[in-house]
């Protein structure tokens, strides 16, 4: 049997370390997915998700899928053959959106941006006169860039706005209702401090009314999933066996965040991100993401000339049990990605990663 690995500092692009309350909840006994105790847990989880999404949408739920499953659900329920999807691409996950939308039958109008730059809402809104959907990534994990999606919501007209909030939810300001987000999907493994496996998902009334009535995916059909989550406990019907353990973990993570206070948690992420950026620059390193659009939760930094990016990552893992990420796409070996998310968004984590990195580079 391989040696049991007890701990890692997960300072990469995700998964992040879990809040201790989450780890404890993952050990709860498995109970039935229609057990009243579980149903109450699901209701509380949906309520907590509404808070971190900044929405009053009734249809806000933990989708039984990872973030990519949330992305599939967003498109398969909103676009079908010939529908126009305008998609902002400023990194890997915008690219993935294009592929998912194409497979759903959409005519994709791709609005490319230089990687490292935020989404230019004016260009996106001008790309097509009457798209069915407009989509963008709020926090591009591949580049460490935060984009302002509110102007897309303000200017979307008749279109539905789809937003990826995988690396922002639970750690950064996210106001789905105020920003006009119609369909949002996220992940649990980043700022929410829970394991990967669920996709916090939210759908506005407007999007629900205009959904594809029989989407090609049965599993991700939001019409059917509404009955599974149910407006009230009594109306809940079987759709699939809910991942009860994962939901217990997510509920504990949301409880932890809301007990600390969402604003305080966001401030903690901002402070950790700022201290990390300052520390990296003080070491003489150059940040990758455009100034003014740098994600607090995930910092991208250029690998100095002559330094072997993979060797440094291996050194950190071996000597400090510390994970940081490589770059994405064309930047795999020229950029590192350092996440300060969930329980890791604190000064101790920043100092640890800076010290370890300094030694590894020397
Ligand atoms: N979107 C963004 C911005 C992400 O960072 C990720 C994963 O890191 C995904 C989508 C896909 O999520 P998952 O890997 O959980 O399927």
Helix 36-53 and helix 244-260, axial crossing angle in degrees, nearest 10: 50
Nearest to 340 by CA among 267, 234, 254: 267
Measured between alpha carbons, how far is 198 from 175 in angstroms, rounded to an integer?
Answer: 20
Residue 337 counted as an annotated binding residue: yes
Testing ligand 1's pocket by substitution, the residue of 71, 90, 93 carrying the most ligand atoms inside 8 A of its CB is 93
Whole-number percent of the chain with pLDDT over 70: 97
User: Measured from the CA of 140, which atom of ligand 1 is nearest?
Assistant: 3
Q: Is the pLDDT of residue 179 over 70?
A: yes
User: Measured from the CA of 199, which atom of ligand 1 is nearest?
Assistant: 15
CB 156, CB 127: distance < 8 Å:
no
Q: In the predicted model, what is the mean pLDDT of the chain?
A: 95
166 within ligand 1 shell (Cβ under 6 A): yes
Distance (angstroms) between ligand 1 centre and the Cα of 140 equals 9
User: Measured from the CA of 68, which atom of ligand 1 is nearest?
Assistant: 16
User: Measured from the CA of 14, which atom of ligand 1 is nearest?
Assistant: 8
CB 215, CB 72: distance < 8 Å:
no
Condensed to tens digits (0 to 9), the pLDDT of residues 37-58 reads 999 999 999 999 999 999 999 9
Which tokens go with 269? 């992420």
Residue 235: predicted pLDDT = 66
Average pLDDT over residues 261-289: 98
What are the two backbone dihedrals, phi and then psi, of residue 166, each rounded to the nearest 5 degrees?
-60, -45
Tell the burial category of 102 from Cβ atoms under 10 Å away from its Cβ (0-12, 13-18, 19+). Answer: middle
What b/e sequence results for 251-279 when a residue is b if at least 16 CB atoms lie within 10 Å of its CB, and e otherwise? Answer: bbbbbbbeeeebeebbebbbbbbebbbeb
Residue 234: predicted pLDDT = 58
141 within ligand 1 shell (Cβ under 6 A): yes
Residue 4: predicted pLDDT = 53
Q: Is the pLDDT of residue 82 over 50?
A: yes
Condensed to tens digits (0 to 9), the pLDDT of residues 118-139 reads 999 999 999 999 999 999 999 9
238 or 267, which is more confident: 267
Q: Is the pLDDT of residue 1 over 60?
A: no
Measured between alpha carbons, how far is 343 from 360 in angstroms, rounded to an integer?
Answer: 24
Q: What is the dihedral of CA 175, 181, 185, 191, to 10 degrees?
A: -20
Contacts 24+ apart (CB under 8 A), 230-236: 231/58, 233/36, 233/39, 233/40, 233/43, 236/34, 236/39
ipTM surpassing 0.95: yes
Measured between alpha carbons, how far is 219 from 221 in angstroms, rounded to an integer?
Answer: 6
CB 132, CB 83: distance < 8 Å:
yes
Distance (angstroms) between ligand 1 centre and the Cα of 165 equals 9
Distance (angstroms) between ligand 1 centre and the Cα of 187 equals 7
Testing ligand 1's pocket by substitution, the residue of 66, 67, 90, 297 carrying the most ligand atoms inside 8 A of its CB is 67
193 within ligand 1 shell (Cβ under 6 A): no
For 335, the 3-state DSSP assignment is strand
Confidence tier at 233 by pLDDT (50, 70, 90)? very low
């Amino acid at each position: 049997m391989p040696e049991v690995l007890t701990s890692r500092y997960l300072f990469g692009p995700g998964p992040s370390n879990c809040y201790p309350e989450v780890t404890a909840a993952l050990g709860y006994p498995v109970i039935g997915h229609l057990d009243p105790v579980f149903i109450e847990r699901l209701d509380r989880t949906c309520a907590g998700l509404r808070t971190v999404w900044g929405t009053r949408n009734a249809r806000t739920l933990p989708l039984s899928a990872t973030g990519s499953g949330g992305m599939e659900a967003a498109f398969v329920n909103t676009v079908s053959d010939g529908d126009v999807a305008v998609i902002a691409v400023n990194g890997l996950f915008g690219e993935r959106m294009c592929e998912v939308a194409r497979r759903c039958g959409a005519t994709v109008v791709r609005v490319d941006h230089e990687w490292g730059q935020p989404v230019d809402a004016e260009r996106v809104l001008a790309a097509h006169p009457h798209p069915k959907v407009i989509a963008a990534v709020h926090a591009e994990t591949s580049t460490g860039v935060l984009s302002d999606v509110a102007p897309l919501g303000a200017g979307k007209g008749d279109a539905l706005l789809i937003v990826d909030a995988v690396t922002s939810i639970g750690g950064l300001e996210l106001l789905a209702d105020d920003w006009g987000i119609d369909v949002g999907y996220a992940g649990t493994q980043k700022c929410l401090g829970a394991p990967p496996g669920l996709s916090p998902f939210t759908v506005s009334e407007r999007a629900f009314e205009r959904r594809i009535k029989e989407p090609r995916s049965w599993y991700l059909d939001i019409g059917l999933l509404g009955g599974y989550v149910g407006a009230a406990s009594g109306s809940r019907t079987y759709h699939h066996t809910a991942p009860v353990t994962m939901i217990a973990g997510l509920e504990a993570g949301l409880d932890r965040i809301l007990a600390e206070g969402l604003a305080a948690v966001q401030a903690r992420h901002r402070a950790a991100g700022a201290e990390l950026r300052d520390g990296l620059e003080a070491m003489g390193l150059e940040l990758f993401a455009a100034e003014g659009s740098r994600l607090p939760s995930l910092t991208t930094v250029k690998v100095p000339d002559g330094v072997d990016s993979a060797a440094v990552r291996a050194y950190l893992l071996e000597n400090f049990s510390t994970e940081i990420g490589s770059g994405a796409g064309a930047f795999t070996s020229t950029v590192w990605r350092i996440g300060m998310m969930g329980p890791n968004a604190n000064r101790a984590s920043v100092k640890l990663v800076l010290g370890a990195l300094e030694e590894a580079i020397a």
